[in-house]
Structure 1
Amino acid sequence: MPQTLDAAAVRSWCSLALDALGREREEIDAINVYPVADGDTGTNLYLTVESAAQAVEAVFAAHATRATEPTPGDAVRAMAHGALIGARGNSGTILAQLLRGMAEVLAPPAPGDGDHAARLAPALRRAAELARAAVAHPVEGTILSVASAAADAAEAAEAGAGGRTADGGATVRAAYAGARAALAATPDQLAVLGRAGVVDAGGRGLLAVLGALVRALTGEVPAALPAGHRRHEDPATVAPGAGAGEDGRPAFEVIYLLEAGEAAVTRLRERLDRLGDSLVVVGGDGLWNVHVHVDDAGAAVEAGVEAGRPYRIRITHFGAAAHPPEQVQRAVVAVVPGEGLAGLCAEAGATTVLARPGEPPASGELVEAIRRAHAREVVLLPNDAALRHTAAAAAEQARTEGVRVALIPTRAAVQGIAALAVHQPDRRFDEDVVAMTTAAGATRYAELAVAERQSWTMAGICQAGDVLGLIEGDVAVIGADLAATAEAVLTRMLAAGGELVTLVLGEDVPDALADRLERYVREGHLAVDTVVYRGGRQSVPLLVGVE
């Protein structure tokens, strides 16, 4: 194989790393004892890399529409950004910073026809430096030690190349070997690992990511780790609830994305360091991922509000894993496009996954939601045609874990609302699924969007700024005004009949629009009812359903 780091190699690296972490996720979870023995490091790393891989695929898809190829810089920047916005847990957050450090060195164009692989050693060094700087109190025997050892070995390989730059394959082979040796030494560096008889879980995950890089550049599959690199003593040597507040350690893990400036983040670091431990703040250029373990989760979020705009806030109680809720018979998991619908669906008893504009949920997030529902039977509502394959993969994974999952292929949020309206958990599972599927299928859907550029559509040529009325995914109406275009869409949809119109308004849409559309429906169709929901921040200003 050509040992060059082009965009295709970065894409392959992401895919192979995701595959490797998918295979090793449970093993890595099993050896997770530091900083908290909550058994989720492998899962968190998988979700982080899945987000990175999705971002890289999005770059390739965008270039395909223009019949161009992404540059290595495009791909590696996307990988780092995707990891940043999808980072989970302590190790996932550190991995995101490692990838950011590599991107800083690898992303700039190579002079002439130079190969980006020639920069791998300095990229690994920058990655290790940035990761250490992001951790409030670095500890040896962790993923940080493994990252530093990888950089040391890569630099030594280049220095030993007789004054010539080592080829990319030689550099990553050396980095992998150095990381592997450092991983084996982690139980001797960190007492909690030595007592449990395990290597560091985060470092184990990083080794999988580096092994994927070796394979992407050389085609070689690194040798499997010997048994000594896995747990070899009774897991009971580490209390499963360690870190859950019972031994004086913080009880909550708080993670959020934050839009803020450098100075505000510096102050935030100081404040969060006083509140708790395991503080990691990664990112830059106005976007940060904040991770901390605290007793007062509210104070950690409030600190973020004072620093800037926190969002995608996730709070986990460490004791929850040790004392899981009693399993219920049936649950519904629904993907929703805005906070308003998330609240509505939660009130109806569903476990929700928020899909923010430009950030579709990964299959791992859907699997986690199914687990969080803690039910023997789950009805999964993806509510987006583009999530069909993602939802199918999540359902298949959950089935392997013993959960009975029915995937209803809802293509829009209004179809999911219709399905939830007829959900009856005390009915037989198959009967409930049939009723929900029928209700969803009987709901036609539309959305109002704003065109970003001139384009050909089924309704003619649109210009940037035009309002597009899409019915069942196809542009049916082009207008200049949101209200008038919405009325035209309703006219077309109600021409085929209907009993109920559902309107879901975006964050910035005034209530006056809903009032106007309600009057429009009432005046033209006396037997048709209208319900209005506030969807919050969503990708389009208006969603429409007709049942």
Structure 2
Amino acid sequence: MGEVQRVAEEAESVADGHLLRRWARRAVDSLQKRRGEINSLNVFPIPDSDTGTNLLFTMRAALDSAETIEDDVRSAGRVANALARGAVSGARGNSGVILSQVIRGIAESVQGEHIDGRSFANSLTTATGLASRAVSDLVEGTIVTVLRASGEAAQECVDTKTPSGEDLASVVAAAADAAAIALNKTPEQLDVLASAGVVDAGGFGLVLILDAFVEVVTGKSQVREDLGTPDPRSSAVVDVSAFDHDWAHKSPIECGDHSEQDFEVMYLVDDSDDDRMTALRTRLSVLGDSTVIVSDGFGGWSVHVHCCDAGAAVEAGLEAGKVHGIRISSFLVDERDQLVARAERRFPGAGARGVLAVVAGESAAALFESEGATVLRCDDAPVTRAQLLGRIRQMERSEVLVLPNGALTAQELVAVSAAARDPLHQVLLLSTSSMVQGLAALAVHDAQRNVADDGFTMSEAAAATRWGSLRIAVERSLTYVGTCDPGDAIGLMGHEVVLIGPDVAESSARLVDLALGSGGELVTLLMGADAPDDLAGQLEAHVIAHHPGVDVLVYQGDQPGDLFQLGVE
């Protein structure tokens, strides 16, 4: 027997029910391995990152149904019917329902013991028709577009009437190649894909499923290095920064209260007929969008819809026949779970907590960093809201506690807090009005506590710290305690001027006495860059002499402006 004849006979011997089951197993394996990749592409019709999961569940349901056949497994028609029943009853999501129609197309086109190139081409053509009729609002650039391209290529291969036209391997390979090309062009057809810089997730999965068919027929693995890469000739390959990147939070269909569709509803219907299912489709299209209704070819239907009123969608089905297998999922819950998972993948420090402190002064920065804080310097210019928000996001921590230390106004902090709040960041801006209050808060920081408890404890420590500062007047000014002249020492408690004096040492001692007037156990001094060299020693000696039992901690801060900051606890 010649080698060519032997290969041909072996190919024919496996083009039966056994081959279809091997294909289903291989497709399940491929979808399992690349589920995460497919999920990451999922932006249409709902960016809920579950297309890969839905395709996998649907294909696995088809395989489980086919695996129950114990006799007459060689019959391609019988195995195809089992695959179709399992796929329709177990279909998940839009993409899963469309995949069930691909498998149903095979079941309707393969009636005998074997499957050949012509019957496979017919199955894709049939599947395209079934899927197109099942979708209420057909959109180009989706899995249906990719399916249609594969069917047209398969049919063209058959119609060539060359020896390869009837060969299953040639037809399947032509279909898979055409699907891959069509997939890479989907961003050209659907703006939301171009805006996100991705190809259609469902179409990507379909290419993997067709490639799995090629592999079981030919025994050769399919390697497509450019799969999922937009066609370079496409007008969609442009600078995506020009697009609206808020696509993940928008939907063209809104509920009565102007919210997005809240639920995905799926169920199976038996004991019905075409007329009642047509009426059901009309009613569901009024209730929501993404309505897909498909038949398994054996008297059962699978129903899918996105809507705001899940109960009404189920009630509509009850009027059409016997409803079972009801599955309802909330897009809000799914989005939360996906964003949490995305945060865990994105951040190497996901779950870890960070503290960000706004600090002036080289030594002060080193002091905060030695306590584990990330520092944003504000020596030369005021910190802007954009700078603070950017540093929060650069920290790559899912929990961030911010010590503003008086560098921004309350209004600015509110704006930063609003902008920083998103599902990837839990950000708490603590009320620290000075660096000494920030040090007091940082001293009680405990990353092992719940973030809210940690933030509360740190805020409580900051609030319990009375703080003041001494600086030199640079111009004549009127204050609550009188007029100051350039060169005068100005003492403040909080943001209020409480004393003015011509002598730095005397004014510093008076400020300490005022700060300790209502008691205290610890005085923290953070010395500025312009403080006289002996000022820290003089103040420490003053506290010891006039306030027995009060401890003094002195740190060099090198901050500009203030000769020193003091905190009393």
Quote the residue 2:212 is aligned against. 212
Counterpart CA distance in 2 for 1:325 and 1:49 is 22
245-254 vs 216-225, which moves further:
245-254
Counterpart CA distance in 1 for 2:227 and 2:44 is 20
Alpha-carbon contact 1:241-1:318 (below 8 Å) kept: no
Q: How far 1:225 moved relative to its partner?
A: 3.7
Q: How far 1:119 moved relative to its partner?
A: 1.1
Question: C-alpha offsets along residues 396-425 of structure 1, whole Å, 9 cap, x if unaligned?
Answer: xxxxxxxxxxxxxxxxxxxxxxxxxxxxxx
Quote the residue 2:245 is aligned against. 237
Using a 3 Å threshold, how does the CA distance of structure 1 residues 160 and 270 change in structure 2: closer, same or farther? same
Quote the residue 1:502 is aligned against. none
- The residue type paired with residue 310 of structure 2 is A
Give the TM-score taking structure 1 as reference length: 0.55
Alpha-carbon contact 1:41-1:201 (below 8 Å) kept: yes
Q: Using CA pairs below 8 Å that are at least 6 residues apart, which structure has the higher relative contact order? A: 1
Quote the residue 1:36 is aligned against. 46
- The residue type paired with residue 279 of structure 1 is T
Q: How far 1:228 moved relative to its partner?
A: 5.1
Counterpart CA distance in 1 for 2:313 and 2:175 is 37
Quote the residue 2:89 is aligned against. 85
Quote the residue 1:182 is aligned against. 182
Please point out which of 277, 292, 298 is paired with 1:285.
Answer: 298
Quote the residue 2:446 is aligned against. none
Q: How far 1:117 moved relative to its partner?
A: 4.0
Q: Secondary structure at the match of 2:34?
A: helix
Quote the residue 1:321 is aligned against. 334
Counterpart CA distance in 2 for 1:240 and 1:247 is 16
Using a 3 Å threshold, how does the CA distance of structure 1 residues 312 and 169 change in structure 2: closer, same or farther? same
Quote the residue 1:444 is aligned against. none
Counterpart CA distance in 1 for 2:338 and 2:92 is 22
Q: Structure 2 matches for 1:63-78, cutoff 5 A?
A: 63=71, 69-78=73-82
Alpha-carbon contact 1:250-1:295 (below 8 Å) kept: yes
Quote the residue 1:46 is aligned against. 56
Q: Secondary structure at the match of 2:220?
A: coil
- The residue type paired with residue 139 of structure 2 is V
Counterpart CA distance in 1 for 2:287 and 2:116 is 42
Counterpart CA distance in 2 for 1:326 and 1:180 is 29
- Are positions 1:21 and 2:25 aligned together? no
Please point out which of 97, 101, 105 is paired with 1:97.
Answer: 101
Counterpart CA distance in 2 for 1:239 and 1:118 is 42
Counterpart CA distance in 2 for 1:166 and 1:325 is 45
Q: How far 1:128 moved relative to its partner?
A: 0.8
Quote the residue 2:112 is aligned against. 109
Q: How far 1:286 moved relative to its partner?
A: 2.1
- The residue type paired with residue 31 of structure 2 is L
Quote the residue 2:126 is aligned against. 126
Counterpart CA distance in 2 for 1:277 and 1:102 is 28
Question: C-alpha offsets along residues 354-413 of structure 1, whole Å, 9 cap, x if unaligned?
Answer: xxxxxxxxxxxxxxxxxxxxxxxxxxxxxxxxxxxxxxxxxxxxxxxxxxxxxxxxxxxx
Counterpart CA distance in 2 for 1:135 and 1:301 is 19
Alpha-carbon contact 2:118-2:158 (below 8 Å) kept: no
Instruction: Tell me which structure has the larger Cα radius of gyration.
Output: 2
Q: How far 1:324 moved relative to its partner?
A: 4.2
Q: How far 1:254 moved relative to its partner?
A: 0.4
- Are positions 1:262 and 2:265 aligned together? no
Question: C-alpha offsets along residues 255-306 of structure 1, whole Å, 9 cap, x if unaligned?
Answer: 0011122221111111111111101001143201100011111110000001
Using a 3 Å threshold, how does the CA distance of structure 1 residues 58 and 274 change in structure 2: closer, same or farther? same
Quote the residue 1:274 is aligned against. 286
Counterpart CA distance in 1 for 2:179 and 2:130 is 17
Q: How far 1:163 moved relative to its partner?
A: 7.8
- Are positions 1:301 and 2:309 aligned together? no
Q: How far 1:51 moved relative to its partner?
A: 0.5
- The residue type paired with residue 128 of structure 2 is A
Counterpart CA distance in 2 for 1:325 and 1:25 is 14
Quote the residue 1:379 is aligned against. none
Alpha-carbon contact 1:125-1:152 (below 8 Å) kept: yes
Counterpart CA distance in 2 for 1:206 and 1:326 is 26
Counterpart CA distance in 2 for 1:174 and 1:83 is 24
Runs of 4+, deviation exceeding 4 Å: 230-236, 238-248, 324-327
Counterpart CA distance in 2 for 1:325 and 1:173 is 35
Q: Structure 2 matches for 1:501-512, cutoff 5 A?
A: none
Counterpart CA distance in 2 for 1:204 and 1:164 is 26
Q: Secondary structure at the match of 1:323?
A: helix
Please point out which of 253, 276, 287 is paired with 2:264.
Answer: 253
